[in-house]
Amino acid sequence: MQSAIELNPALAMDFLLNVAVVRPVFMWGAPGIGKSALVSRFAHAVGMECVSLLGSQLAPEDLLGIPKIDGECSRFYPPANIVRKQPFVLFLDELNASSHEIQKAFYSLILEQRVGEYKLPKGTVVIGAGNRAKDAAIVKPMPSALINRLVHIHLRTDHRQWLDWAINEGNIHPWVVEYIQLRPDHLCNEPPKHEETFSTPRSWHMLSDALHSFGENISDAMLEALAFGLLSPPHASHFKAYLKQIHQKHTLHTIIKGDAFWPSGPEDRDVLYFLAQSFRAYLYKELPVDEASVRGQHKDLAIRAKDMLRDLARISVEIAQSVMGEDQAGQRLPAWFLVEVARDLPRLAGRDKKAKEEKT
């Protein structure tokens, strides 16, 4: 299903609190984005027990129960995990990964809150969730009759909300928190089309748990195995370089302040590239797109940035040019700033132009 509108976790929670209590809701989102955690928080907010059923691992009898002779007829007895006397939150996870027989069995459960002769307690909330076809996950087409029985929302990540949770509630490792603060665009990336690890809020949480378990004396080999075993390869490389520059005291903040310099040794090229890309992300966040919005502090930053680019180009023109170019999402630094760089650093801008011409 295509997403017309996407909600961040806070908006999605507000949606559930107002809609899920009256109609069944289905949440679409990439793996690891936090669908299950959101439902758990919703259940806690409304003061109900949360019971989860994993659609991809269900057989018809797991939902419908098994028949038992009762006098001259047989009756289906529902499984104990969905039989409650008090209302609860029934979470149908990976609903669109279940077989068509299971999906059909969900019809009466979703529409009438009934399984065979058993009816869920009044006030029970039913929420479904699943991945999208483009996520390279196991999904099956959802019948139109089932689609029409649900209110659909699409989830997206929000690095500010995730960081607020990570710092105040999540007990997330400081290295992970500081890295996402520096590179919020690395919190999540689209699942690859082939078998490869990729970054999600869940994978960063798993990395944090493992770092806590290892403690401060984790070896470089273990750190590398962890990062590349959980994150997308580019993010893993950047995270490794980030920790290396922390240990060597080469931080972007100290370089911007003028208290440190770009690392220039051949052995630190990975750190230099990471710092340069972090510098680019910092400028993209701090410099206004519209020149009319430029204020004194922005001009001061632009002057300092040009000095830093000049110093960076002395070490590596290619890495300096990468700061001025497009990122993986096709975003560029503000045009007014790039014009200033082209005016004040013509050698660097000229090389950038020549590289583009050779590429075309």
Look up residue 207 and give its two tokens.
């990395």
Which residue among 133, 156, 179 closes a domain?
156
Q: Are residues 220 and 351 in the same domain?
A: yes
Residue 45 sits in a domain of what CATH number? 3.40.50.300
Residues 167 and 47 in one domain: no
Residues 194 and 267 in one domain: yes
In Å, how far from its chain's centre is CA 338?
Answer: 30
- Are residues 177 and 321 located together in one domain of the fold? yes
Q: Are residues 296 and 230 in the same domain?
A: yes
Q: Is residue 262 part of a domain?
A: yes
Q: Kindly state whether residue 51 falls inside one of the protein's structural domains.
A: yes
Beta bridge partners of 77: 66
* Bridge partner residues of 90 (DSSP): 51, 126
Q: What's CA 299's distance to the chain center, in Å? A: 33
Separation between Cα atoms, residue 25 and residue 149, nearest integer Å: 9
CB atoms within 10 A of CB 109: 24
Tens digits of pLDDT across the chain (360 residues) = 666 789 999 999 999 999 999 999 999 988 899 999 999 999 999 999 999 988 777 777 777 677 777 777 877 777 777 888 899 999 988 888 777 777 777 777 787 888 777 888 999 999 999 888 777 666 777 778 888 889 999 999 999 999 999 998 889 999 999 899 988 989 998 888 788 999 999 999 999 999 999 987 888 899 999 999 999 999 999 999 888 877 766 678 888 888 888 988 888 888 888 889 889 988 988 999 999 999 999 999 999 999 999 999 999 999 998 898 887 667 889 999 999 998 988 877 654 444 444 433
Count the domains in the chain. Answer: 2
pLDDT at 138: 67
Q: Are residues 347 and 244 in the same domain?
A: yes
Compute the distance between CA of residue 24 and CA of residue 290 in angstroms, rounded to an integer.
44
Q: 108, 127, 156 — which closes off a domain?
A: 156
Please say which residue of 135, 156, 177 terminates a domain.
Answer: 156
User: Which amino acid belongs to residue 19?
Assistant: V
Domain of 202 in residue numbering reads as 160-359
Does residue 1 belong to any structural domain of this protein?
no
Token pair in block for residue 58: 């269900």
Q: Give the percent of the chain with pLDDT over 90.
A: 46
Are 146 and 194 part of one and the same domain?
no
Q: How far apart are the first and last CA of the chain?
A: 37
Give the CA dihedral 164, 168, 171, 175, nearest 10 degrees.
50
